[in-house]
Structure 1
Amino acid sequence: MPDRYIKKILSARVYDVAVETPLDEAKGLSERLNNRIMLKREDEQPVFSFKLRGAYNKLSQLSEEERACGVVAASAGNHAQGLAMSAKKLGVKATIVMPKTTPDVKVNNVKRLGGKVVLHGDAYDDAAAHAQKLVAEKGMTFVHPFDDPDVIAGQGTVAMEILRQESGPIEAIFVPVGGGGLVAGIATYVKYLRKDTKIIGVESEDSACLKAAMDAGKRVTLEQVGIFADGVAVATIGENTFELAQRYVDDVITVSTDEICAAIKDIYDDTRSICEPAGALGVAGMKKYVEREACSDKTLIAIDSGANVNFDRLRHIAERSELGEKREAIIAARIPEKPGSFKRFCSALGSRNITEFNYRYSDESNAIVFAGVQLKAGGGGREELVNELRSSDYEVEDLSDNEIAKIHVRYMVGGHAPANLENEVIYRFEFPERPGALMKFLSKLGSKWNISMFHYRNHGAAYGRVLVGMQIPQAERAQVEGFLEEIGYNFWEETDNKAYQLFLG
């Protein structure tokens, strides 16, 4: 099997549309991490993503009869754009089924590249099912975004370029993983020629389908998939890709949203380019690897896989990057409700700056404040901050890892629920960002229980995030989750969340 894929990679047709992207040294990261850090700049492809390689190679391998039937794919972004451009180059009609939640910028770009767009469903699975329906009804040729040998071979040309561009020893290559097409292609080629180079897949911790499969020894389907890094939001690793990953991938590292945001900033600082969340996974994983292995003076390569990010997401990314770089902590602290308390609290922070401070009077004895605190450069982390404040007799809660605090509470601090509010239960939701979704959500909820709290803030993503308080009598609690499941949106109960209890409950 390896020989078959090596031959496919060596003979892959990609350069009719794709370009050989540079392998650039990230000098700032290299200095900080005490290693030679290289970035493979797939964000510089004509469609700002490596996906163009696999899509074009697949189309170039089709027979005349298959091309004549037209091609169809399901995608929310990069594969769609790569396929549309490839089909235009080869004179093939391309239909792209995209979820209704797909941002207009991606829909319009697919149309600009000559693809016919069909909007269907709220998620990738809905779009994929409709694409298969078109295959059955119209005989169109389906082009899978990752689980196809020719697509994998096209992505494998990234490795071919890397080994040509870097002749010296390479400690490890860090590859973003969604469905696995890129990591499978790169791993197969690199391990054929340089067995001592580690191939490390990097996944978002809330869509880690490869790690789950590796741990289980078989492909598994995740119950829920996070949507921040939408380019890798895949519930099940591909069949072909998993077979290759099991053979050739040395390790899988998972990273958090905050770590991804910090990596986006790292790449920007060194290149002045803004990659998408999925595109920054390689750098985020590399940073964790360096810390874990304490390696130095090695050559480490990260794949910057794409730059298709919505402009309105940058606000959210910037906010979270400081947390991901461990340069900021979010804390709740109880301080006396009397003149001079805030000044004394600031004094207890020492040389640290306050980046955010939220407070509202609640009673005459104590105040609970929500604060962002800049951490000391080169050390002095969150644990040290919390210990220092506690030694000064402050009650402190570290909320830096609390999603409710970071997404909702920091924008809602302003008062607790009134004393006569009974039976409040808190839920966190994700719902598709499309016309009518919020109205459907409110209509469903409003017909059952009183809404006592509601917070929604757009983060420029395909899904909205909502925090809701509902008054639910104890006798009706058992039927709530069944009702919420009927709505069809992801949800989590957060009544016991510390951030809610401190500031809103």
Structure 2
Amino acid sequence: MEDQKIAFEDIERAAQNLIGKVRYTPLQYSRSFSELSGRQVLLKCENLQITGSFKVRGAFNKLLSLTVEEQAKGVVAASAGNHAQGVALASAMSNVKATIVMPQGAPIAKVEATKAYGADVILHGHSYDEAYEHALAIQAEKGSVFVHAFDDPKVIAGQGVVGLEILQQCKNLDGIVVPVGGGGLIGGIALAVKTLFPQVAVVGVQTSAAPAMVESKKEKKHKTVACKGTIADGIAVACPGQLNYGLVEQLIDDMVAVDEDDIARTVVLLLERAKLVTEGAGAAALSALLTGQVGKQGERWVTVLSGGNMDITTVAKIIEQGLVRSGRRWEFRTVLPDRPGALQSLLAEVAQGGANIIAVNHDRLRPGLALSQAEVLITLETRDQDHIKELIARLGQRGYITKEANFS
């Protein structure tokens, strides 16, 4: 590791620096996720960290390294949200002025939280990378200290403390699975873990909508890959850190990508089974375990829930979509004779099929209907996809032609 700009001792120092400033977050065994994945699953709950994300660790460690002269000049950072809050809080507690550039589409909750911590927030660009370029321009103009979200030795060392905590909290561990955007978190964790227990596997996870580190690892060279729209905005980074890529290339056992639908489903499962709120990025690593891309049957794995900062409106959308995709909610259309009792007969069949009726919309005026017909749109609460198939078969046997009315 002589050629690296960060050493294990830097992480040890960061651990001492952060005592009393950040939370020592819990590591929870999950029976539900262990049964679903076939692995022994433990959740490292960085979503319960102050500011709702691990990012505050690296931000604090960086701020604590500044000289008096540097503190007087203030700091500048770019972030999609979680790093912004970490820098804002660390700056406020250090009496340092902070200017944060965030993408225009950053979640409202993250923008407002950053302002609440006292930082000056500038909304610029449509991605982290565009915000980053604007932040560099501001830093050059003002002469402030730039606090990088991931490609900085002090920041990486702060994030690496997560790895030290995991090793203190769990023995006989087979592996750790970590969400990856720019690579600061996995770089720090891997350096800590591989130094002390090189046999423990460290695997990174990205969304298929932003797979830059996956592609870099695969092709063994640092790559920039354009990001698509994703619910995992916290790991939507087109260009991973150079220093972090070096750590990933040397220390990481594997990098995998998960689909957006799987991430959304995992967010819902975490709410339902573990009573934990996570953002898309925070659920990505667990999603890789649940889809069988990481680990083997019976192995003990820690998954890092990296953050829990998500707009309530986004949570509602993900829950709604998750219910539909898992078969917990079904919406269908059918055409009935427009006569008394026809709708009542249909609803009786639905009820006897064991579904709970949520909403009914009766339309006689839709174009294409005969004067003697009416279309009905019905939303049901169902058990699962098999239950939906049973209902379709039951209604079909009684002459009802059902048409899916929601997304697949």
Cα 1:102/1:224, change in 2 over 3 Å: closer
Instruction: Quote how far apart the aligned CAs of 1:148 are.
Output: 1.4
Number of the residue aligned with 2:171: 167
Partner amino acid, structure 2, of 1:321: G
Runs of at least 5 residues in structure 2 that lack an aligned partner in the other structure = none
Distance in 1 (alpha carbons) for counterparts of 2:331 and 2:283: 27
Per the alignment, do residues 295 and 110 of structure 1 end up closer, same or farther by CA in structure 2, a change over 3 Å counting? same
Aligned residue identity for 1:190: V
Which moves more between the two structures, 178-187 or 269-278? Answer: 269-278
SS of residue matched to 2:7 = helix
SS in 1 for 2:76: strand
1:133-144 superposed matches below 5 A:
133-144=137-148
For 1:356-371, what aligned pairs fall within 5 Å after superposition? 361=366, 362-364=368-370
Tell me, yes or no, if structure 1 residue 97 matches structure 2 residue 98: no
Alpha-carbon distance between aligned partners in 2 of 1:278 and 1:262, rounded to the nearest angstrom? 13
| CA–CA separation in structure 2 for the residues paired with 1:219 and 1:97 | 25
CA separation of 1:109 and 1:343: change in aligned 2, threshold 3 A: closer
- For 1:451, the equivalent position in structure 2 comes to none
CA–CA separation in structure 1 for the residues paired with 2:204 and 2:233: 17
Q: Provide the secondary structure at the position in 1 that maps to 2:91.
A: helix
The offset of 1:323, in angstroms, is 4.2
One-letter amino acid of the structure 1 residue matched with residue 118 of structure 2: G
Query: Residue 9 of structure 1 aligns with which residue?
Result: 11
Q: Deviations over 1:298-336 (max 9, x none)?
A: 322111111211222222021022245x33486878878
Q: How many residues align?
A: 397
Q: Distance in 2 between matches of 1:400 and 1:192?
A: 50
Q: What residue in structure 1 maps to residue 211 of structure 2?
A: 208
Which of 281, 285, 289 aligns to 1:278? It is 281
**Aligned pairs (5 A) from 1:27-426:** 27-168=31-172, 170-289=173-292, 295-323=296-324, 326-328=326-328, 343=346, 361=366, 362-364=368-370, 380=386
The residue number in structure 2 matching 1:439 is none
Deviation at 1:181, TM superposition (A): 0.9
CA distance in 2, matches of 1:77, 1:392: 53
Question: Which has the higher mean CA deviation after the structures are superposed, 133-142 or 327-336?
Answer: 327-336
AA aligned opposite 1:203: Q
Residue type matched to 1:53 in 2? R
State whether residues 329 and 374 of structure 1, in contact with CA within 8 Å, keep that contact through their aligned partners in structure 2: yes
Contact 2:175-2:300 at 8 Å conserved across structures? yes
Q: For residues 202 and 296 of structure 1, what CA distance do their matches in structure 2 show?
A: 19
Aligned equivalents of 1:219, 1:356: Cα separation in 2? 51
Give, in whole Å, the separation in 1 of the partners of 2:225 and 2:397: 43
Return the letter of the residue paired with 2:13: S
Q: For the residues of structure 1 that align with 2:222 and 2:337, how far apart are their CA atoms? A: 56
SS in 2 for 1:273: coil
1:456 aligns with none
* CA distance in structure 1 between the partners assigned to 2:359 and 2:208 by the alignment: 27
Alpha-carbon distance change, 400 to 223 in structure 1, aligned in 2, over 3 angstroms = farther
CA distance in 2, matches of 1:211, 1:384: 41
Give the Å deviation of 1:272.
2.8
Cα distance, 1:11 vs structure 2: 1.6
* 1:423 alignment counterpart: none
1:90 Cα deviation from its structure 2 partner: 2.6
| CA offset digits 1:155-185 (Å, max 9, x no partner) | 11100000011012x2332211111111111
5+ residue gaps, structure 1, are 403-505
How many Å apart are 1:241 and its aligned residue? 1.4
Cα deviations by residue, 1:377-429 (Å, 9 ceiling, x for unpaired): 5x849899999999999998889875xxxxxxxxxxxxxxxxxxxxxxxxxxx
Calculate the TM-score normalised by the size of structure 2: 0.81
* Letter aligned with residue 254 of structure 1: A
* C-alpha contact (below 8 Å) 1:258/1:323 kept by paired residues: no
Task: Give how far 1:346 is off.
Answer: 6.2
- Whether the aligned pair in 1 keeps the contact of 2:334 and 2:401 (CA below 8 Å) is yes
Give the superposition deviation at 1:55.
0.8
Q: Give me the CA root mean square deviation.
A: 3.7
SS at match of 1:297: coil
- Kindly indicate whether structure 1 or structure 2 has the higher relative contact order, using CA contacts under 8 Å at least 6 residues apart: 2
Percent pairwise identity: 34
